[in-house]
Amino acid sequence: MRKGHSDLSSVEEGSRRGSMRESCHLKKGPWTSTEDAILVDYVKKHGEGNWNAVQKNSGLSRCGKSCRLRWANHLRPDLKKGVFTTEEERRIIELHAKLGNKWARMAAELPGRTDNEIKNYWNTRIKRLQRAGLPIYPPDLCLQVNRSQEESQNAASLPNGDSYASNLLQSDAFEIPRVEFENLELNQGCLSYSPMLHDIPANTMLKRVGSSYGYGLMFPIAHPTKRLRESVSNYFSMPNQLTENAYRKRFDGPFEISSPYDSNLNTNDQPSFGIPPGSDAPLNSNFSPSEPMSGPIKLELPSYQYSDTQEDSWVNPAYPLPLVESVDNLIQSPSVEQAKSDYLTPQNSGLLEAVLHESQKLKTSKDDSCQQSSSTSVLDDVTNFSLNHCEMEFEAHCDPNSPLAHSAASVFSEFTPVSGSSSDEPQFIESILGCNAKNETPSQMAVSRLDDFIGPGQFGHNNGCVRDKPSVTDAIAALLGEDTYCGY
C-alpha cells in the first residue's frame, strides 16, 4: 500500500480534501491514524454495526457511513492487503462476466477483498484495455460463456436459470436478471480487431449488412500519442498468459472464421467477438463507468445491433445460411426487411437501439415521399438500408442531446487534425482507413472504404439511389473532419 492517507497525522492534513461539515461538525476526508485507532477500539468493544453510535460513544467526528466504510475497506482484521494475485484477477474477470458491476457480490466471492478494491481494480483495468484497444474479457472466457450459454439453452427445461452460471464458472450460482445487461453495447468486441476489416470481402460485408447479425464496424484506436505503461500482456494474467501478439493472433482467425457466411465456418470452437448470445454480462463491451470512451473510439458504419430475438444467430446460426449467397437469393430472402423489423423493434430496448428506432421513425416519415419503386434492386435496398443507418447513427451523433454525440465527440477528437501537429495522425488515419491519408481527404477515404465494403459505386457518387442520400456522404465527410458540420 502506498503512502496511506491514514499516515497523515494532523487533522488539517486529514481534512485537506474534505471539509468539516459545518452543520454537524463531522469531519470528512482522509482518516488519521488516531481516528483509525479510535474506530478499531470502538469496534473491539461494541462490535460492528450501529455506526452512527460511534460518533456518540467514541467522540469520533465521523459520520456513521464514513466509519463503516473505513472499517470495511481498511480496518477489518480479515482484510487481505496488497496486489491482487493472478488467481484473484482471474476470478474477478470471471465474476464480472457473470455478475456485471456487482462489486459487493464479487467481494463476497473474494475473501479479504473489498468491493471498493475490486471496483478500483476493474475500472483501472478497463481504462487500460480501452487504451490498448483490447476486449474486456479474454477469449477464453468468451468461449466459456458461449459454450455455457449453449448448454444453458439446451437445458432450458431446467427449473432455474442458474445452470448457465454454474456451468460457466463451476461456482456458486447466482440469479442474475438478464435485463441487467440489455442496454450494453454489443459490438465492442470487434473493436480491437478491425484492422482486419479491410480484409473482409465486400460481398461478405454486404451480406452482413443485409443480415441481422450484429457486426459493428468499429475501428480500434490506441491513441498514438498515449502510452501504455504496462505491457498489454499483463492485462491478461490468465492461465493462458496470452501476450498481446498471441492474443491478437488468436483472435485474428476467429474474426473472419466466425462470420456465419464464411466458407470455413466453424462456430462452436471459435471464440466469438463481443457478447456471447444471451450472456448476462457485457462481454467485451467497451464501457467505462466514469469516462467517455477515450482510447478506442467507435466509428460505426452500418451497424446492425444484436437482436434479442435472434440470440442463436450470433455465434451459432440456428438457420445456416448459404455460404455463397447470390443477389437473387437476397431478393427472395426476407432478410433485409426482416432485419429491419428485427433491428428496429422497440423491444430492443438498448439505448442505441432506442435512438435508432426513433431516428428510423423520423426517417420513415421523411422517406414516404421518395419511396423506391418495387424494381429497386435488393442491392440498392441493402445499401440504402445500410446507409440509412449510417445516416441515422450520424444524425444521432450530431444531436447534442443524443448519448451518441459523446462518442462522436470522441471521434472528432481522435480524428480531426484540430490538435494539428501530430505527425502520427495521417499515418494513423491511413492505418485505420487503409488508404493514403496524404492523398485523400477524409471523406474520400471514407467513401473509398465504403466502396470497398459495399461495392464500387454503390456508395456515393454514381448510384442514383444513393445519390438520393447525399447527406450520408456529407455526414461521413463531416464525421471525418469537415468541421463545418454539426458545429465541429
Partner DNA sequence: AAAACCAGCAACCGCCTTTCA
Partner DNA sequence: TTGAAAGGCGGTTGCTGGTTT
Strands (E), 347-406: none
Contacts of 352 (CB under 8 A, 6+ apart): 185, 305, 404
* Residue 267 interacting with DNA (CB under 7 A): no
* Residue 76 interacting with DNA (CB under 7 A): no
User: How far apart (Å, rounded) are the C-alpha atoms in residues 377 and 237?
Assistant: 51
Residues 109 to 148 in contact with DNA, rule: CB under 7 A? 115-117, 119-121, 123-125, 127-128, 131
User: How far apart (Å, rounded) are the C-alpha atoms in residues 167 and 150?
Assistant: 11
Shortest separation between residue 402's beta carbon and DNA, angstroms: 17
* Residue 1 interacting with DNA (CB under 7 A): yes
Q: Are 106 and 95 in contact (CB under 8 A)?
A: yes
Shortest separation between residue 189's beta carbon and DNA, angstroms: 20
* Closer CB to DNA, 82 or 159, in the complex: 82
The owner of cell 432485419 is 339
* Residue 361 interacting with DNA (CB under 7 A): no
* Closer CB to DNA, 107 or 206, in the complex: 107
Taking CB under 7 A as the binding criterion, the range among 66-74, 263-271, 365-373, 401-409 that sits at the site for DNA is 66-74
* Residue 304 interacting with DNA (CB under 7 A): no
* Closer CB to DNA, 121 or 261, in the complex: 121
* Residue 438 interacting with DNA (CB under 7 A): no
Q: Which of 25, 45, 227, 438 binds DNA (CB under 7 A)?
A: 227
Residue 302 identity (one-letter amino acid):
P
Picking from 285, 235, 4, the residue whose alpha carbon sits closest to that of residue 124 is: 235
* Residue 5 interacting with DNA (CB under 7 A): yes
Shortest separation between residue 60's beta carbon and DNA, angstroms: 12
3-state secondary structure of 266: coil
* Closer CB to DNA, 41 or 199, in the complex: 41
* Residue 265 interacting with DNA (CB under 7 A): no
* Residue 96 interacting with DNA (CB under 7 A): no
* Residue 80 interacting with DNA (CB under 7 A): no
DSSP string spanning 115-183?
HHHHHHHHHHHHHHHHHHT--SS-HHHHHHHHHHHHHHHHTTTSSSTHHHHHHHHSS------GGGGTT
Shortest separation between residue 288's beta carbon and DNA, angstroms: 8
Shortest separation between residue 100's beta carbon and DNA, angstroms: 8
Contacts of 140 (CB under 8 A, 6+ apart): 238, 239, 240, 271
Contacts with DNA by CB under 7 A: the residue count is 52
* Residue 65 interacting with DNA (CB under 7 A): yes
* Residue 229 interacting with DNA (CB under 7 A): yes
* Residue 366 interacting with DNA (CB under 7 A): no
DSSP string spanning 73-129?
III-TT---SSPPHHHHHHHHHHHHHHSS-HHHHHHHSTT--HHHHHHHHHHHHHHH
Q: Which of 73, 267, 309, 471 binds DNA (CB under 7 A)?
A: 73
* Cell numbers given for 222: 490506441
Q: Which of 69, 265, 405, 465 binds DNA (CB under 7 A)?
A: 69
* Residue 394 interacting with DNA (CB under 7 A): no
Picking from 192, 132, 197, 193, the residue whose alpha carbon sits closest to that of residue 435 is: 197
**CA distances from residue 137 to 115, 320, 383 in whole angstroms, order as listed:** 20, 27, 33
* Residue 226 interacting with DNA (CB under 7 A): yes
Shortest separation between residue 19's beta carbon and DNA, angstroms: 8
* Closer CB to DNA, 125 or 298, in the complex: 125
Residue 34 identity (one-letter amino acid):
T
Picking from 453, 305, 446, the residue whose alpha carbon sits closest to that of residue 379 is: 453
- CA pseudo-torsion sign 7, 12, 16, 21: positive
* Closer CB to DNA, 229 or 438, in the complex: 229
For 419, phi then psi, to 5°, come to -65, -20
* Closer CB to DNA, 4 or 400, in the complex: 4
* Cell numbers given for 28: 470528512
* Residue 46 interacting with DNA (CB under 7 A): no
* Closer CB to DNA, 70 or 208, in the complex: 70
* Residue 285 interacting with DNA (CB under 7 A): no
* Residue 45 interacting with DNA (CB under 7 A): no
* Residue 66 interacting with DNA (CB under 7 A): yes
Q: How far is CA 318 from the centre of its chain?
A: 25
* Residue 420 interacting with DNA (CB under 7 A): no
Shortest separation between residue 409's beta carbon and DNA, angstroms: 16
* Residue 318 interacting with DNA (CB under 7 A): no
Q: Are 339 and 211 in contact (CB under 8 A)?
A: yes
Interface ranges with DNA (CB under 7 A): 1-6, 16-18, 27-31, 49-53, 64-66, 68-70, 73-74, 83, 101-105, 115-117, 119-121, 123-125, 127-128, 131, 226-230, 289-290
